[in-house]
Amino acid sequence: MRRVSVLGATGSIGQNTLDLIARAPDDYDVVALTGASNIAQLATDAVALKAEVAVTAREDLLDDLRDALAGSGVTAAAGAQAITEAASRPADWVMSAIVGAAGLAPGLAVAAQGNTTLALANKESLVCAGPLLLETARAAGAKIMPVDSEHSAIYQALIGEDMDAVERIIITASGGAFRDWPLEKLAEATLAEASSHPNWDMGQRITIDSASMFNKAMEIIETREFFGVRPDQIEVIVHPQSMIHALVGFNDGALMAHVGPPDMRHAIGFALHHPARQHLPVERLDLAAIGQLDFRAPDEVRWPALRLARETLERGGMMGAVFNAAKETALDRFIAGDLGFTEMSQVVAQTLDHMNTHCDHIDAKMTLDNVGRVDHLARKAAKAAVVKRAG
């Protein structure tokens, strides 16, 4: 029996993870499940999977969670600290699928356990604090498996290969909801329009980030941190069908592509079973029926996020934490209706500029506290930029 925990269990990645675990109940002991607002889902899954503990990020919902778990034997807890404690409970495999920078501290707690596998969907932890997370895992002896589909694809294309022979890594982007919209219409894009993805069924925030290409921008940084390649070795290509997830180019001109259906259970299952491959309940592609795969260069006028990610990498230090915090703040304000779709990248650009000139903390030692400080200052700067725009 493998001991497993799922952080962010009530979300899109979390539910896909539980789907795989629930198919083989005799193989897994569920340790901790965590969520935030969706108490009914958290309690239902915790009871069905006989979890030791269920934790909500929201302290105001602890009583609701206790009520929902009454008599089940599952312990209830609440708050950010309780989630990090749940992440520290000894487990063989832990899925990190909380959305946003809130996933960093729990992910670090998993890595610090050593002798475990951290399945990492929470790309924000690599963007905010990649070196800190990787070093924590290395020092403790924990393994990190990428779960983002592109990074799982790169990982798979690199098996048995020599990193010195890698020339470039190409990550694909569907182009999101607005890839074919006329540019002048983008500023008017609504929340509902930005929240529907042509190929993938994901949480709302990452779906909007796909439309703005902030998701791909984050993934450029994630690729740099996880695989240690130079930023100029990382390319983005628009591939509307989302069948090829990434390609690795070698020094003999070969490109190794990873092809599969747009179903996150592949990348999750790969991380769950690695180094073995096991049967997964995903669609088998019929290439003849698909007929053709298309590619085009990304348009940096349409998607300024890509350029901002490269500037972030060039600046170095804790600029990734600034980038993420500014992006999360701008996204919150877009969801709240205070900011237009194209204004999100303007707010991020202004925040990067402001923090670069006014914040010495960016070059401080990368610790959880210092990342938290930079995150806090960047959110403040981003909010000020939003207010300025609204005014």
Helix (H, G, I), strand (E, B) or coil at 117: strand
Task: Considering the complex, state which of residue 121 and residue 170 has its C-beta at the smaller distance from ligand NDP.
Answer: 121
CB nearer to ligand NDP: give 68 or 206.
206
Please list, in sequence order, all residues whose beta carbon lies within 8 angstroms of the beta carbon of residue 182, skipping any fewer than 6 positions away: none
Q: How far apart are CA 222 and CA 236, in angstroms?
A: 13
What residue is closest to ligand NDP based on CB?
Answer: 11
Q: Which residues bind ligand NDP (CB under 6 A)?
A: 8-14, 35-38, 57, 83, 97-99, 102, 121-124, 148, 200, 202-203, 205-206, 264
- Given ligand NDP, Mg ion, none, residue 324, with its beta carbon under 5 to 8 Å by kind, binds none
CA dihedral 326, 330, 333, 334 (to 10 degrees): -160
**What's the burial of 155, exposed, middle or buried (CB within 10 Å: 0-12/13-18/19+)?**
buried
- What is each CA distance from 53 to 66, 156, 363, in whole angstroms? 11, 33, 39
- Minimum CB–partner distance for residue 72 and ligand NDP (Å): 18
Please count the other Cβ atoms lying within 10 Å of the Cβ belonging to residue 346.
Answer: 16
Measured from the CB atom, the residue of 28 and 214 that comes closer to ligand NDP is 214
User: Smaller CB distance to ligand NDP: residue 124 or 375?
Assistant: 124
Q: Give the x-and-dash track for 150-169 against Mg ion (CB under 5 A).
A: x-------------------
**Amino acid identity for residue 204 in this structure:** Q
Question: Tokens 């929470």 — which residue?
Answer: 122
Among ligand NDP, Mg ion, none, residue 8 binds (CB under 5-8 Å by kind): ligand NDP
**Can you tell me which residue has the tokens 């194209």?**
342
CA 222 to chain centre: 9
Residue 145 interacting entry, from ligand NDP, Mg ion, none, C-beta within 5 to 8 Å by type: none
Question: Going residue by residue from 177 to 216, which x/- string records binding to Mg ion, judged by CB under 5 A?
Answer: ----------------------------------------
Query: 52, 148, 222, 328: which one contacts Mg ion (CB under 5 A)?
Result: 148
Q: Which is nearer to Mg ion, 10 or 174 (CB)?
A: 174
Is 54 in a helix, a strand, or coil? strand
- Cβ 221 to ligand NDP shortest distance, Å: 12
Q: How many angstroms separate the CA atoms of 322 and 381, rounded?
A: 10
Write out the residues near Mg ion by the rule CB under 5 A: 148-150
